[in-house]
Structures are given as C-alpha cells and as structure tokens.
Amino acid sequence: MTDTYTQLVNSGAGRNLARKLGLPQPAVLRRYQPGQPLVVGPVVVVGNSPAADSLATELLSWDLDVRRHAVPAEKLGAIILVLDELEHPADLEQPVLSAAGSLRDLRAGGRVITVSRPAAGVSSPAAAAARQGVDGFLRSLAKELRAGATANGVLLSDGTTTTSPSALGAIRFFLSSRSAFVDGQFLTVSSPDGALPANTDRPLEGKVAAVTGAARGIGAQIARTLHRDGAMLVLVDIPAAGDQLAAVANEVRGTALQLDISGADAGARILEHAAQRHGRLDIVVHNAGITRDKLLANMDHSRWNSVININIAAQLRINEALLAADHFRSSPRIVSVASTSGIAGNRGQTNYAASKAGVMGMVRATAPLLAASGGTINAVAPGFIETEMTARIPFAVREVARRLNSLQQGGLPADVAETIAFLASDAAGGINGEVLRVCGQNLVGA
C-alpha cells in the first residue's frame, strides 16, 4: 500500500509545510537494486586498534573510498566505529566523540556501524559496563539520525575478528541498501564460519530453497528476492492458494507444492519434493503464518490452537524432519519469520505473540543442533510492514503505527525479504541463533 504522507512531505510544497508545522518528515529510503554501489561517499573507519586497521584494509579491497580520519565538510557515506578493545566506560569517549564530529556530514541514507564485543560472560565489571554501553549508545544514536540514515552494530564473539567472513558479511549488509529498514539492531557473529560470495549480486547462486506461505505478500516477495539472488525455489502454500502459488512459481521459475504445513508429513513432503527435482535442499524459510486476533477474555480454543499450530508447532515438526534428513546436511540454513509482537506484545494478539515468541525460543535452542553440520538457524522479526493485512487497519491507527519508529514509516515486504536472503547466505554462516528485527527501530515496547 502506498504511503501517501511520505510522498507528500518529500515534495516541495509538502516538505515546507511539514517543516513549518513540525510534522514527521520520513525520507524516501534507498533500497537495493542489482549493480548499484554499496555505499555512496567515503567510509570513515574510527578506532586505533589493529582490528580497525585490518577492517580498513579489507574495505579498501571492496573498492570503497576508505578514510581513517574524516575531512571536515566532506559528505560521508558511512562511519564505522571499531570498539573491540574496550576495557572501561571511559574508553568510549575518544572514538564516540570523534565520530560525533562527522555526523552532520553523513549523507541522506548514510550508515553508522559499531563493531564491538558482547558484554555477556565478561568477568571484569568495567569491561562489561563498557561493552554494554555500546548497546545504549548505538540504539540512542539510531533515534537521532535523520534523512533515512541508520545505525546498527556487529558483536564479535570470542574467536572472531573484524575480518571473519560473517563479520564482513554483516558489515556489508548493514552498509548496503538491503538493510534500509533495519535500524538500531545488533547481530552477533558467533563463529569464524561463513564465506563471502564471489558474486555479490547473486550470493545464493546454485542454492535450493523452500519457502512456505509463498503465494502472496511477504512470502511471494521472499521468493522473488531469493530467485534474484540465484536460488532455485520450491514454493509451498495451502491448496486453496494454488492458483496464486502457481503464478509466483512461474514468475521465479520455481516449482509449486500445494501443502498444509500443519500436516504430520509436511517436512517429509518438502524434502521429497526438493530431492526429486534438485537432489538436495539447502535453505528453508518458515514464512507461513496466520492471525486470529481476539482479546484473551474472548479467546476460544479454535483461535488459540490454529495460530499455535500453524505459526510454531508446524515449524517444530518440519525442523525435526529436516534435522534427520540426508538431503539437508551441507551447511543448511533455516530462517524463520517471527514478529515484534513476540518481543513487545500487542493488544488482542496473545495467541499470535505467544507463537512468534515461541519461534524465537525455538531458533535459539535449535542453533546448536544445526551447528554440528555447519548449519545455521536465525529469525527475522518484522515490525509494521505495508501488506494487504496492514492496509485493512483503520486509517488513524495505521498512520500512528507507521510513524512509531525511527524511520517514521512502514517497511516493505522487500525489506523483510532482503534480510532473510542475507541470513540464508554463506556470508551469514557464522551467525546462528539470532533474531534480527526489521522494524525501522520501533520507538515503544522493545
């Protein structure tokens, strides 16, 4: 659905009126198109550690204009703060204030990225305080940026460095326009696994992916994005959506599998279909889901059970089949669609929020099981996304929901799909058990 307000305030007369009245001024976000430059403008790498030097050298190999110090009044594409050696909160002052001097020079749609270490498991209270301080700093900065600029963070676990493949993969994702609606978020790189693609425009070349709920909306866009990135597709949806499913499958040159994913044999049927046509299955995207909203006082067994069964119980059953299958053992990837409702809750959605919170718990517990075969499982938690469902929300409520994030607008199905495509790629092979929100940084609840 078109966001008429955002279009209005990006026109000449509308922009002036919004400024005079102090109204929100959401920017038109720069979204990914194959062949476009990764970053527009110089990238400044802030930090004095050897890791900062190594990262700057690596970024130079990407044909980026990399600076170790900003030139005053020069428009910048990105600022990367390497904070991997923090031992005390006082250590934040020099790099943070150095970056602060360049923020006004950040281009529209620019990027700020922090690279630091997690606070969990650190024995030193001072070091833990400094590392956790990055969290508060980054999330607050994301709320200060304007004109479509975003701020996100990469956390390096023990054994990983700024030049580990998935650290570079996460940095590349956050720098790119693929992450247009990801803001104020952190990704933890838990292992040195992964590999950067030879062709960055087709990072899923030759992979076989199954997508559930693929007949419409976000699921159809996931299929289009994975196809664009080189994947061969098995598209799954219920028989009632057969015509729409076939149309999407034809569009992306995939195959359609009409299937109720709540069936006990759903996992086996997906595996069998993929094996017959491609000999294996590399990626599964659990996108299928339903809502049956009602206040809990009015909730009945049917509404509760149908949502739990489709949104989480079906994923658990399918994953059991995947983990036991011979055709899903070569660095497999699972990406589940959760929701910010499962993080912050939502009135009238106790069943839905329970199911989506359950997805996140499942992802974290399944991660070690997949790691043994070089695999990963992660979740994407969308916020307000412009879909047929959100178009049915009453106008006033919809407008408020659109503006309650740092980017002051709703996301697009493509934003969810781009994030899923990244997590399904080998560039994210060292990222496992994570939940990444695609919400423009919701201002309330979480």
Sign of the CA dihedral with 258 first, then 393, 285, and 422 last? positive
Rounded to whole angstroms, what are the CA distances from 173 to 104, 183, 317, 418? Answer: 23, 12, 31, 9
> Which tokens belong to 251?
């569009």
How far apart, in whole angstroms, are the C-alpha atoms of residue 97 and residue 47? 11
Question: How crowded is the C-beta side of 394, counted as CA atoms within 13 Å?
Answer: 2
> Which tokens belong to 322?
């995947």
Place of tokens 């997590």: 423
Residue 358 identity (one-letter amino acid): G
Does residue 352 have an active-site annotation?
yes
CB 86 within 8 A of CB 131: yes
Residue of 174, 352, 384, 422 with catalytic role: 352
Q: Which residues are catalytic?
A: 352
